[in-house]
Amino acid sequence: MSKTIIHVDMDAFYAAVETRDNPALAGKPLIIGSLPGERGVVSTCNYEAREFGVRSAMSIQEAYQRCPHGQYMHPNMAKYKEASDAIHKIWNDYTDVVEYLSLDEGYLDVTGSLGLFGSAKEIARQIKEQTKAEVGLTCSVGVGYSMATAKLASEEKKPDGYFEIPDAAFFQELTAGRDVRIILGVGAKSADKLY
């Protein structure tokens, strides 16, 4: 029996929570992690900061060089955990086969839930709508026939997107000519061996 897997990935989660709670941050580059002048890295940043080349795990000094006018703040893990608990509660409404990867990302095996809730697309739509209405945040949702394809699908239309990879033929067509590292689990060393 083929599986139907949904991958949910919250959009710039920490930064989105901070912007939800302080709308004055909306539209401004926001970097969560260490502050300029401290030793440390970027935990995450919003899409406005990414336009300046700021990325997760980048040193805070480099982030500041790229985006000196950004808003910088330390993470508030208690606040993010509270938002995460609310998100996970929504996911658990649709299946009890869930694998959490982090506070803001997880896989849902909805193979056995389709009879109750309709298509995977309908479940994804409901998750997105509930997340926005109940938690005030957006997420990107991918549907696939495996964890790897669901993850790839969720990356296709970020932020606040939906994408589906229904079968192997579609996956091959989608990935033809792309860098092999877009596939979950393929890093630089594996990529070198595959080329």
Catalytic annotation, pick one of 18, 48, 105, 164? 105
pLDDT tens digit sequence for 142-156: 999 999 999 999 999
DSSP 67-116: -TTSEEE---HHHHHHHHHHHHHHHHTT-S-EEEEETTEEEEE-GGGHHH
Tens digits of per-residue pLDDT, 64-108?
A: 999 999 999 999 999 999 999 999 999 999 999 999 999 999 999
Whether 105 is catalytic is yes
